[in-house]
């Protein structure tokens, strides 16, 4: 039987440009990642909404 490794420290949140869009990877509590692909307009809209929340 293979040993089970705990899912810890999947790394920081990151955004990369891939082709015409952007891929955002967000680490989740308990392990794994949420991966979201956004186009330019969606990324700008998300950025504006996040800035409005923290302003």
Please name the residue that has the structure tokens 């293979």: 2
Query: Which token pair is 45?
Result: 């809209």
Query: What would the mean pLDDT of 1-6 be, rounded to a whole number?
Result: 55
45 close to 38: Cβ distance less than 8 angstroms: no
Coil, strand, or helix at residue 41? helix
What confidence tens digit (pLDDT) does each residue in 26-48 have?
A: 998 888 889 999 999 999 999 99
| pTM score, whole prediction | 0.71
**Residue 14 banded pLDDT, cuts 50, 70, 90:** very high
- The pLDDT value given to residue 2: 56
**Residue 5 banded pLDDT, cuts 50, 70, 90:** low
Q: Report d(CA 53, CA 30) in Å as an integer.
A: 26
Give the pairing type, strands 21-27 and 33-38.
antiparallel
């Amino acid at each position: 039987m293979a040993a089970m490794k705990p899912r810890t420290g999947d790394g920081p949140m990151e955004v990369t440009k891939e082709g015409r869009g952007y891929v955002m990877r967000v680490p989740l509590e308990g392990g794994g990642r949420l991966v979201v692909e956004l186009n330019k307009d969606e990324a700008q809209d998300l950025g504006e909404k996040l800035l409005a929340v923290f302003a």
